[in-house]
Chains A and B, each alone.
Chain A
Amino acid sequence: MSTRPMNAADRGAGPYLWRFSPLNRTLHALVIVSFLGLVMTGLPLKFAYAPWAHALVGLVGGVETAGIIHRICAVITFGYFLTHVGNLIYRLITSPNRKAIVWGPTSMTPQLKDLQDIVAMFKWFLGKGPRPRFERYSYMEKFDYWAVFWGVAIIGTSGLMLWFPAFFAKLLPGWAFNIATIIHSDEALLATAFIFTIHFFNVHFRPEKFPIDTVIFTGRATTGYMKEEHELEYDRAVADGTLQARVAPPASRAAYLWSVVLGFISATIGIILVILVIWALLH
């Protein structure tokens, strides 16, 4: 086996191409920080009976501090969510190509092709067909996106209810807080389990990408990578002559190192947390 760069975003030939805007990279970094904070302070509460719960709470500075961190991270979450929605609305108003945002090959909106891709992917898994070629966002990335969108909306809403129960009791019956607790807790567990296993596998740990892919941090990946992962988008850029405009310089050494280090730290924390969840569920 020939040597290969550790970072999946460096694999393959050709110059770097832009994939994510500075805003989206910043928002994703905020997602990572706030999500890790929320999970580290929320899991001990959900699994208060687990043998590690006290230790994890102690690690973040006690129950009260954990509650404060959880709320700070919640505010960050609302911040990135609203920033994204605001940016989306702004682009929908100002973009000359606004239709492409809501529909078509570069849109996040699920399309018929995504369904076909899922079917094709399973056929490929079973050796009954070729691996499907993806657009700008594969169905896995769209799922990630909408999972966060839906997750933030319902975990955020239920979280606010539990944060300000007396206020929400002016509008809602008390058992709504029981339901809010169920939703908040179970959806958060789903998010934790999904991000730290499925998302990590899809973007970092599957054999083509192991052990890390910094494209979301540096915003760029090699031409070879783009041909592999988002072939249809690459082909379109070649066809309409916009490929050259997407060529990016390599990331600065500092940005690159930070991306790798923070990526590994986040992944490690995530894996530890998911192990704790499994431990608690088996307990």
Chain B
Amino acid sequence: MLVRTLLFASLLCAPALAAQAHGGKAAAGAVECAKCHANRDFLIGKGPKPGEDSLLFVPPTILAGTAHDTLRCTSCHRGFEEGYPHRAGAPVVTPCQTCHEQEGRDWEASVHARNAESKGDAPTCVRCHGSHVIYPAKDPRSPIYRLNVAAKCGSCHGDPRIIGTYFATAAKEQGRIATTQYPKSVHGVAMTRDGLVVSATCSDCHRAHKILPADSTGSSVYRSTIPETCGACHSGLVRTFAASAHGTAYPNQPGMDSIQRPVCVDCHSAHGIARIDKPGWLSGVVGECGKCHEQLYETYFDTYHGKVTRLGFDVAAKCSDCHTAHDMRPPTDPQSSVSPAHLVATCGRCHAGANQNFIQYYAHGDPRQRLRYPRLYWPWLFMTTLLVGVMAFFGLHTALWVTRTAIDRRRGGEPGAGGLAGHGRPTGTGGTP
């Protein structure tokens, strides 16, 4: 009800609720107002609409213990200082950004504010913070306390009715993914199950006030901004990543201009981020690498590593085991884990005793490429020829044998056809001329 009161208020003036701590005793102001607003009998018939009288009911102690404990009623409800009867036409509430300037500006730039213009409705300050009973974000009672943020955002973003009414089609799916996957993600589990307030919640990635869709360049989740956003917490990883072949700090390789470099969410997803030691997770990322590295992807699955990985064995080497997860670089880069200088150590992580010989293994060898892998091509050609040759010869042998028997049988069997007693053909010295 309080929320609706303020929503009503926000439609009249602007998204708002204000606070300005200019001294004075809140209680003094409240007492004046409470003469009427704490008196239900007096309020009968005075509501904004018939039957909404209770919207005007405000107990005098409502701000006690809140973030606005020291404010007077008129700090936000300016223009009502003269008491009753109220001055006609005064806005019910002064905008919150009268005091909270930066937050107000950020909100005005957000997709929420845009919705307010285009749809005539959007979450304003009070939808997330509450109206009279506003606690600081660090107070566990606050709806925007870190442990409560996801539930607060989810109250709209997980509501099919709201999603269907307000969100663009593509965003509907995103909204559903976000609210169903986040609680199961590492971030969500840490937050909700373990109560770990430093884990990431909605507002850490999407920001609290300047929330913008991912395709908007100013968004914190705009593609090229994502490493910076994740890096706010994962600082070390993102610095490593930035210097890697995938990172923007790495010199562009020939032909790479038109290729979009991957960012955090391509491998880790945005909302369903899982622990990397979850069974099958690293194997799943192989497919992600393969989206760009098509040939390496194919040749990987020709090797033992790839084949057992495909069968669900998590121990065999996957892309990141050799190329690292974030510091991947081409073999020509001396810093690369797959550069000649580092291969013994890289292979040696699994293969104890790997030496200079060992690292001459072609981890992506393709025997069908004669010019690139002549050492593999000729043995492959020999084995294939042997296979096809033997099967062709004996296949023909068998086919002719079956045919011969069928012909002989139709003729009732003749000497020389071979065959056994009781088989419809003469026994004995089959084949004697």
Q: Mark B358-385, 1 if CB is under 8 A from A, else 0.
A: 1111100101000001011001100110
Across the interface, do B420 and A225 meet the contact criterion of CB distance under 8 Å? yes
Across the interface, do B420 and A208 meet the contact criterion of CB distance under 8 Å? yes
How big is chain A's contact interface, by range?
A: 35 or more
Q: Quick one: which of A35-74 are within 8 Å of B by CB? A: 44-46, 48-49, 53-54, 57, 62-64, 67
- The segment from A15-23, A77-85, A105-113, A174-182 found at the interface with B is A174-182
Closest to B306 in A: A48
Q: Quick one: which of B399-433 are within 8 Å of A by CB? A: 400-405, 407, 409, 416-424, 427-433
A243: chain B residues at CB < 8 Å are: none
Across the interface, do A224 and B394 meet the contact criterion of CB distance under 8 Å? no
Q: Quick one: which of A109-167 are within 8 Å of B by CB? A: 121-122, 124-127, 130-133, 162, 165-167
Closest to A124 in B: B404
Across the interface, do A54 and B311 meet the contact criterion of CB distance under 8 Å? yes
Across the interface, do B404 and A169 meet the contact criterion of CB distance under 8 Å? no
Closest to B316 in A: A63
Is residue B351 within 8 Å, beta carbon to beta carbon, of the partner chain? Answer: yes
Across the interface, do B307 and A45 meet the contact criterion of CB distance under 8 Å? yes
| Complex: A158 Cα to B402 Cα, angstroms | 36
Across the interface, do A130 and B416 meet the contact criterion of CB distance under 8 Å? yes
Q: Quick one: which of A1-43 are within 8 Å of B by CB? A: 1-5, 8, 11-13
Q: Quick one: which of A186-205 are within 8 Å of B by CB? A: 186-187, 189-190, 193-194, 197-198, 201-202
Across the interface, do A166 and B352 meet the contact criterion of CB distance under 8 Å? yes
Distance in Å: Cβ of B426 to nearest Cβ of chain A: 10
Distance in Å: Cβ of A195 to nearest Cβ of chain B: 11
A189: chain B residues at CB < 8 Å are: 387
Q: Quick one: which of B88-107 are within 8 Å of A by CB? A: none
Across the interface, do A208 and B352 meet the contact criterion of CB distance under 8 Å? no
| CB contact between B404 and one of A64, A125, A167, A228 (< 8 Å): that residue | A125
Across the interface, do A227 and B427 meet the contact criterion of CB distance under 8 Å? yes
Given A125-B404, A177-B361, A190-B433 contact (CB < 8 Å): no
Across the interface, do A175 and B395 meet the contact criterion of CB distance under 8 Å? no
| Complex: A63 Cα to B198 Cα, angstroms | 39
Total cross-chain contacts (CB, 8 A):
192
Given A45-B308, A208-B423, A133-B379 contact (CB < 8 Å): no
Is residue B345 within 8 Å, beta carbon to beta carbon, of the partner chain? Answer: no
A5: chain B residues at CB < 8 Å are: 422
| Complex: A67 Cα to B312 Cα, angstroms | 13
B351: chain A residues at CB < 8 Å are: 165-166
Distance in Å: Cβ of B139 to nearest Cβ of chain A: 51
Distance in Å: Cβ of A42 to nearest Cβ of chain B: 10
Is residue A241 within 8 Å, beta carbon to beta carbon, of the partner chain? Answer: no
Given A3-B422, A194-B390, A198-B398, A44-B376 contact (CB < 8 Å): no
Q: Which of A5, A63, A194 has the most CB of B within 10 A?
A: A63
Is residue B223 within 8 Å, beta carbon to beta carbon, of the partner chain? Answer: no
Is residue A91 within 8 Å, beta carbon to beta carbon, of the partner chain? Answer: no
Is residue B8 within 8 Å, beta carbon to beta carbon, of the partner chain? Answer: no
A67: chain B residues at CB < 8 Å are: 308
| Complex: A48 Cα to B361 Cα, angstroms | 21
| Complex: A228 Cα to B83 Cα, angstroms | 123
| CB contact between B398 and one of A162, A170, A177, A197 (< 8 Å): that residue | A197
Distance in Å: Cβ of B400 to nearest Cβ of chain A: 4
Is residue A173 within 8 Å, beta carbon to beta carbon, of the partner chain? Answer: yes
| 12 further A-B pairs in the complex, CB-CB below 8 A; given A132-B431, A174-B359 | A2-B422, A11-B423, A122-B400, A125-B404, A165-B358, A170-B357, A173-B360, A174-B361, A179-B376, A186-B383, A194-B394, A198-B398
10 tightest CB-CB pairs across the interface, nearest first?
A174-B361, A174-B360, A4-B422, A166-B353, A125-B400, A186-B383, A131-B431, A169-B358, A63-B313, A48-B307
A interface vs B, CB < 8 Å?
1-5, 8, 11-13, 44-46, 48-49, 53-54, 57, 62-64, 67, 121-122, 124-127, 130-133, 162, 165-167, 169-175, 177-179, 181-183, 186-187, 189-190, 193-194, 197-198, 201-202, 206-208, 224-225, 227-228, 231
Question: Can you report 15 A-B residue pairs in the complex whose CB atoms are below 8 A from each other?
Answer: A4-B420, A4-B421, A12-B427, A13-B427, A48-B307, A62-B312, A127-B407, A169-B354, A169-B358, A178-B361, A179-B379, A190-B383, A193-B391, A202-B398, A228-B430
